[in-house]
Amino acid sequence: MADMGTFQQFWYYLTTNGSYVLSQFTRHFLISIYGVLIAAVIGIPVGLVIARNRKLSSTVIGIANVIQTIPSLAMLSIIMLGLGLGVNTVVVTVFLYSLLPIIKNTYTGMVNVDPTVIDSAKGMGMTSFQRLYMVEIPLSMSVIMAGIRNALVVAIGITAIGAFVGAGGLGDIIVRGTNATNGGAIILAGALPTALMAIIADLVLGFVQRRLEPKESSR
């Protein structure tokens, strides 16, 4: 093995352990996705509520901001004290970090809806719920999506640290590479797919986000 270059070793590693890398890739992706999904399920309604009750907004966004400032390794350890080792700890950590971008973007999206549009919706006799559902949410959807996109990219990075609480994922491969005597190729085999996953997630959600942008002509 020692006579091979790092990239040769990297290819050799992938051909021998391909299915293992793939299974960790899926696991890594799912952990990130679940955390972000739960954050979206909770964060979007919270964002809508604080957009209607502006007094609450500074408190809620303040709390989310404080969560965001905690270093990820520290957060992981604190949650581990409660939930123990394993996957759940990582999913909850990802969830907490995803809250801020999702809440903040939902709030910003809602607040930035043109007041004249809302006024005309009122003038048409729409109820509060109809305005939310038919006017405000569609107009702020692309901003909300930008928050989710942001959250997912961060989540993929955080999940990589999850290896330290025994959750598995691509971080596991990276950690093993750092422990091995000649682990350069193994580190690459863990790090490159992680980076690739983040880039692809960003591109795909960026595409979705652009599709959701309100057309200029319809304004």
Residue selected from 26, 58, 120, 128 as contacting another protein according to rule CB under 8 A: 26
Residue 167 interacts with another protein (CB under 8 A)?
A: yes
Q: Which of 47, 109, 147, 168 binds another protein (CB under 8 A)?
A: 168
Among 186, 187, 201, 205, indicate the residue that binds another protein (CB under 8 A): 186
Asked if residue 176 binds another protein (CB under 8 A), the reply is yes
Question: 158-175: b or e for each residue (b if 16 or more CB lie within 10 Å)?
Answer: bbbbbbbbebbbbbbbbb
How far apart are the C-alpha atoms of 135 and 119, rounded to whole Å? 11
Site for another protein (CB under 8 A): which residue of 164, 208, 212, 214?
Answer: 164
Minimum CB–partner distance for residue 190 and another protein (Å): 11
Q: Please, are residues 160 and 170 in contact by the beta-carbon 8 Å criterion?
A: yes
CB 135, CB 121: distance < 8 Å:
yes
- Residues 96-135 binding another protein (CB under 8 A) are none
CA distance 192 to 183: 14
Contact 158, 31 (CB under 8 A): no
Number of neighbouring beta carbons within 10 Å of residue 201: 19
Residue ranges binding another protein (CB under 8 A): 1, 9, 12-13, 16-17, 20, 26-27, 30-31, 34, 38, 42, 46, 49, 53, 56, 59-60, 83-88, 91-92, 163-164, 166-168, 172-173, 175-176, 179-181, 185-186
